[in-house]
């Protein structure tokens, strides 16, 4: 499903990811741990090629569902980011546009009509323990708690049924109750879809993951004792 060989990512002349190999099978829950600045978030972005022109990406092989990620056009990348590999960012509040309410985000992302989008979103809101779905729908990012924003982002990512959900430190900075809600959502996805879970929380990563990879100095290695 994912096969990466000798991935290198450069920012200007600095190599940030180096000689990185990675493989992932269908339906797996993969944990990725590592210190801050080791390259975890950069690797997540590389899976959807979310880079500006100052970055260069090179690889001997970079295949996701038999498609070469480095050769996708901009239109193909948009589809890839919605329907193949959806990324949920660490700071969920900041990743939502402050001038759009939650409903606006769903309508912009999904297209179609407001009524069907609302029905789909509300089903996820209820499943994810977001009490007053209609109130959440009309809130702006600055009116959401961190836990609410994380669950909204996961719902938004899942609405188009991507094959892979990439979660970048989505429990970081949350209070224990909100983090528990998000962890429960992730656990419910096990066996239903492929998940890449990037986290500092080694206990949670060990609990959720089928296998664990460790990022260190821009290199990714499978943990032998995982």
Q: What percent of the chain clears pLDDT 70, i.e. is strictly above it?
A: 99
Over 70: is that where the pLDDT of 226 sits? no
All structural domains of the chain:
26-49+81-222 (3.40.50.300)
Place of tokens 């939650």: 102
Instruction: Encode pLDDT of 45-57 as tens digits.
Output: 999 999 998 999 9
**What pLDDT, on the 0 to 100 scale, is given for residue 173?**
86
* Mean pLDDT of the 29-53 span: 95
| Of 1, 31, 32, 43, the residue nearest 210 (C-alpha) | 31
Q: How much is the pLDDT for 93?
A: 87
Q: What is the mean pLDDT of residues 176-198?
A: 95
SS3 label, residue 66: coil
Q: How confident is the prediction for the chain on average, in pLDDT?
A: 94
Cross-strand partners of 32: 198, 213
Q: Is the pTM of this model over 0.85?
A: yes
Q: Residue 21, class by beta-carbon neighbours within 10 Å (0-12 exposed, 13-18 middle, 19+ buried)?
A: middle
Give CA 118 to chain center in angstroms: 22
Q: How confident is the model at residue 15 (pLDDT cuts 50, 70, 90)?
A: very high
Give pLDDT tens digits for 155-175: 999 999 999 999 999 999 899
* Residue 73 confidence (pLDDT) above 80: yes
Instruction: Give dist(CA 102, CA 98) in Å, integer.
Output: 10
Phi, psi of 164 (to 5 degrees): -130, 130
Tokens linked to 56: 């260069």
pLDDT at 190 over 60: yes
CA distance 91 to 78: 21
Please check the confidence at residue 225 and state whether its pLDDT lies above 70: no
Task: Give residue-wise pLDDT tens across range 79-131.
Answer: 999 999 999 988 888 889 999 999 999 999 999 899 999 999 999 999 999 98
Average pLDDT over residues 207-211: 96
The confidence score (pLDDT) of residue 198 equals 97
Does 224 have pLDDT greater than 80? Answer: no
Buried b / exposed e across 126-165, counting CB within 10 Å, b at 16+?
A: eebebeebeebbebbbeebebbbbbbbbbbbbbbbebbbb
Residues 6 or more apart whose CB falls under 8 angstroms from that of 78 comprise none
As a whole number of angstroms, the distance between CA 194 and CA 206 comes to 16
CB atoms < 10 A from the CB of 90, how many? 19
């Amino acid at each position: 499903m994912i096969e990466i060989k000798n991935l290198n990512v450069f920012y200007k002349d600095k190599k940030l990811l180096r000689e990185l190999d990675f493989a992932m099978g269908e339906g797996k829950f993969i944990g990725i741990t590592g210190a801050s600045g080791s390259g975890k978030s950069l690797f997540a972005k590389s899976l959807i090629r979310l880079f500006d022109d100052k970055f260069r990406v090179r690889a001997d092989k970079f295949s996701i569902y038999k498609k070469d990620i480095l050769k996708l056009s901009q239109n193909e990348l948009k589809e890839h980011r919605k329907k193949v590999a959806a990324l949920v960012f660490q700071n969920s509040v900041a990743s939502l546009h402050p001038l759009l309410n939650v409903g606006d985000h769903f309508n912009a992302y999904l297209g179609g009509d407001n009524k069907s989008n609302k029905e789909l979103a509300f089903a996820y809101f209820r499943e994810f323990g977001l009490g007053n779905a209609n109130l959440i729908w009309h809130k702006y990012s600055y009116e959401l708690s961190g836990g609410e924003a994380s669950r909204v982002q996961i719902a938004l990512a899942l609405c188009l049924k991507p094959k892979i959900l990439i979660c970048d430190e989505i429990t970081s900075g949350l209070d224990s109750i909100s983090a528990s809600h998000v962890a429960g959502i992730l656990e419910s996805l096990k066996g239903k879809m492929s998940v890449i879970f990037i986290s500092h929380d080694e206990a949670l990563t060990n609990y959720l993951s089928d296998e664990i990879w460790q990022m260190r100095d821009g290199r990714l290695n499978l943990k032998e004792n995982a």
